[in-house]
Amino acid sequence: QSQLVESGGGLVQPGGSLRLSCTPSGFTLEHYAIGWFRQAPGKERERVSCIDSTDGGTYYLDSVKGRFTISRDNAKNTVFLQMNSTKPEDSAVYYCAAAAYVCYFDTSRFHIWGQGTQVTVSS
């Protein structure tokens, strides 16, 4: 069964950094776009960032531009989300999800999801 596994979450102080990893089980990421989504308590899920499989194009939520960087290492079959200059409002459960080839705006096109990893930004 194809699934994704996130890791790297935890507690970080405001202004600190974390690197999240997304690794597949049962398939390779080569032909999949990977999106990072987050959901905080009482809030709707939002897409934080995404990276295409075709040309490596990247997309970011406005509130994380300049602070977060998404990257993929096909040799390691892993996608990363580097989170710098973190803020308390970045606290959420972060999920990675896969869609065929490109970062569709329609979230329903992301058909493989991970279980999520908690990120808490607090002093």
Q: Over pLDDT 70: what percentage of the chain?
A: 100
DSSP code for 95: E
pLDDT tens per residue across span 31-71: 999 999 999 999 999 999 999 998 889 999 999 999 999 99
> What rounded mean pLDDT belongs to the chain?
96
Inform me whether the pLDDT recorded for 1 exceeds 90. Answer: no
Residue 79 token pair: 């996608």
Residue 50 confidence (pLDDT): 98
| Helix (H/G/I), strand (E/B), else coil: 40 | coil
Residue 91 confidence (pLDDT): 98
Residue 46: C-alpha distances to residues 38, 64, 74, 96 (Å): 6, 12, 25, 11
How far is the C-alpha of 50 from the C-alpha of 58, rounded, in Å? 6
Inform me whether the pLDDT recorded for 89 exceeds 90. Answer: yes
